[in-house]
Amino acid sequence: MSSPTKILDPAFQGAGQRVGTEIWRIENFEPVPLSKTDYGKFYSGDSYIILQTSSSKGGSYLYDIHYWIGKDTSQDEAGTAAIKTVELDASLGGRAVQHRELQAHESDKFLSYFKPCIIPLEGGVASGFKKLEEEKFENRLYVCRGKRIVRMKQVPFARSSLNHDDVFILDTENKIYQFNGANSNIQERAKSLEVIQYLKEKYHEGKCDVAIIGKLCILLNCPSFAQPSILNTSFMIFFCSQD
Ligand SMILES: [Ca+2]
């Protein structure tokens, strides 16, 4: 249990000593430093602590600590994230500004640390006992909103997830598709392309095809459209219906 004389959590040793972002995930009641390669990925079943260190005009460090609460995280994990945020703040002389970030309602400030966006993922660590099954690739459909700050939301791969006002990204093992709803915003379309580039580098080692689909005629005329089985008929019909 915590007490005033408790020494600093070893996971926080050396935190806040240079400008940049540092992230811990709560696993089994402890903050565990996240691998840099996983920065930007947030599992809905977990809670995280994010320390942003910046320098003031006078040269001293400024701190913002965000604790991110996934929509499916356990009470224990969310509670630990809040407690450990206070502990981290105290270790930085109590000078940090603390922010609570609920999944899908994150502040612009928080999202601005991640270029071009954060990637919300289903799943997470189960009370620290079960490791994430990250190896198996799953098709993921995202809705991509926001002209300046991109807000990505994973949605079920189903026609009911689609609408004509948004831009959608479907990430499959060999190809990433961008679906532009007929009424979607041009800036959002452009931002989504940045997101696709990011996904391509992050999950596909830069090696996969990209297809942009606005209307069915484009889809049918696209010679590189090699995976029709991935896209079920209702997707095609949906995007055709506005023509
Ligand atoms: Ca969890």
3-state secondary structure of 75: helix
Q: What angle do CA 39, 175, 120 make, to 5 degrees?
A: 30
| Domain identity same for 14 and 111 | yes
Ligand 1 centre to CA of 35 (Å) is 17
User: Does residue 125 belong to any structural domain of this protein?
Assistant: no
Taking CB atoms within 8 Å and a gap of at least 24, the contacts of 131-137 are 132/43, 137/173, 137/203
Ligand 1 centre to CA of 178 (Å) is 30
User: Does residue 81 belong to any structural domain of this protein?
Assistant: yes
Question: Domain limits at 231?
Answer: 140-241
234, 180, 123, 70: CA torsion to nearest 10: -130
Ligand 1 centre to CA of 174 (Å) is 29
Ligand 1 centre to CA of 63 (Å) is 26
pLDDT at 111 over 80: yes
CATH number for the domain harbouring residue 204 = 3.40.20.10
Over residues 44-85, the pLDDT tens digits come to: 999 999 999 999 999 899 999 999 999 999 999 999 999 999
The larger pLDDT score, comparing residue 163 to residue 7, is at 163
Ligand 1 centre to CA of 110 (Å) is 21
Which tokens go with 232?
A: 């079920």
pTM of the model: 0.81
Residue 107's pLDDT is 96
Ligand 1 centre to CA of 32 (Å) is 13
The CA-based diameter of the chain, rounded to the nearest angstrom, is 69
| Domain identity same for 100 and 26 | yes
User: Does residue 134 belong to any structural domain of this protein?
Assistant: no
Residue 143's pLDDT is 94
| Domain identity same for 84 and 153 | no
User: Does residue 64 belong to any structural domain of this protein?
Assistant: yes
91, 94, 96, 102: CA torsion to nearest 10: 80
| Domain identity same for 61 and 100 | yes
Ligand 1 centre to CA of 147 (Å) is 31
| Domain identity same for 151 and 54 | no
Ligand 1 centre to CA of 132 (Å) is 10
| Domain identity same for 103 and 152 | no
| Domain identity same for 173 and 104 | no
Ligand 1 centre to CA of 88 (Å) is 21
> Which of 55, 84, 116 is a domain's end point?
116
> Which of 58, 82, 116 is a domain's end point?
116
| Domain identity same for 25 and 77 | yes
User: Does residue 202 belong to any structural domain of this protein?
Assistant: yes
| Domain identity same for 109 and 168 | no
> Which of 116, 132, 157 is a domain's end point?
116
User: Does residue 129 belong to any structural domain of this protein?
Assistant: no
**What Rg, from alpha-carbon coordinates, does the chain have?**
20
Ligand 1 centre to CA of 101 (Å) is 16
Ligand 1 centre to CA of 100 (Å) is 17
User: Does residue 62 belong to any structural domain of this protein?
Assistant: yes
Ligand 1 centre to CA of 47 (Å) is 7
Over residues 142-187, the pLDDT tens digits come to: 999 988 889 999 998 887 888 888 999 999 888 899 998 888 889 9
Ligand 1 centre to CA of 104 (Å) is 17
| Domain identity same for 151 and 67 | no
Which range, of 121-130, 169-178, 189-198, averages the lowest pLDDT? Answer: 121-130
Count of structural domains within the chain: 2
| Domain identity same for 15 and 84 | yes
| Domain identity same for 38 and 112 | yes
